[in-house]
Amino acid sequence: MAEIRFTAVHHRFGDRVVLEDLDLTLSEHRIGIVGANGSGKSTMARMINGLVRPTSGSVTVDGLDTTAKGREVRRRVGFVFTDPDNQIVMPTVAEDVAFSLRRSGLTKPEIAQRTREVLRRFDLDEHADHPTHLLSGGQKQLLAIAAVLITGPDVIVADEPTTLLDLRNARMVNDLLAGMPEQVVLVTHHLHLLERFDRVVVLDSGRVVADGVPDSAVNAYTRLLA
């Protein structure tokens, strides 16, 4: 597993403090991040692959600074957004997955083969030629994840990927994330989906207020909300 390290991280947006005194090392297989709206959890997640830069301090992935070595970090860390429509760019399912490999240096037959393989992995092979806009919400999120995974990242960061889904599709997507061999960092409000995770970090007002196994961390978060 990769070592994701936050060292003395602070982040401000205008006059608002988003993250403060963040010192963490994350190396577990499955890591959850929870917190109320505005707690800083999405900002923290986006820092892992350099989408957001800290105002001060540093974030590294296996020693690679996400600010100085952003391109290298993004080869290793894939990001899945809340709304899959923000990531789906091509008209058909197969075209959208293949689009992620446009700069890979692979030949067209190699891209086609890898596309078929990843579509089978996500049970989307029968939808290969279907228009992406006709997919269900759950299928769109699977497609967004597939388009990230086809590039071969070591780490998947998913920012509330089940928020827009009904419970059945949320469980489908979470089961997929929880069963991946890749390292997964999941930001979520669906606390019951963290049962099989190794570690859960709780943020409140930009600070870590609990950090541990799911039961203890989620209980601490529930008490905080109460």
Provide the residue range defining the domain that includes 132.
4-225
User: How many structural domains does the chain have?
Assistant: 1
The pTM for the full model equals 0.92
SS3 15: coil
**What is the distance between the alpha carbons of residues 178 and 197, in angstroms, rounded to a whole number?**
7
Question: For every one of its 226 residues, what pLDDT tens digit does the chain have, with 9 covering 90 and above?
Answer: 999 999 999 999 988 999 999 999 999 999 999 999 999 999 999 999 999 999 999 999 999 999 999 999 999 999 999 999 999 999 999 999 999 998 888 999 999 999 999 999 888 999 999 999 999 988 999 999 999 999 999 999 999 998 888 888 888 888 888 888 999 999 998 888 898 899 999 999 999 999 999 999 999 999 988 8
CA–CA dist 211, 220 (Å, integer): 9
Give the CATH number for residue 123: 3.40.50.300
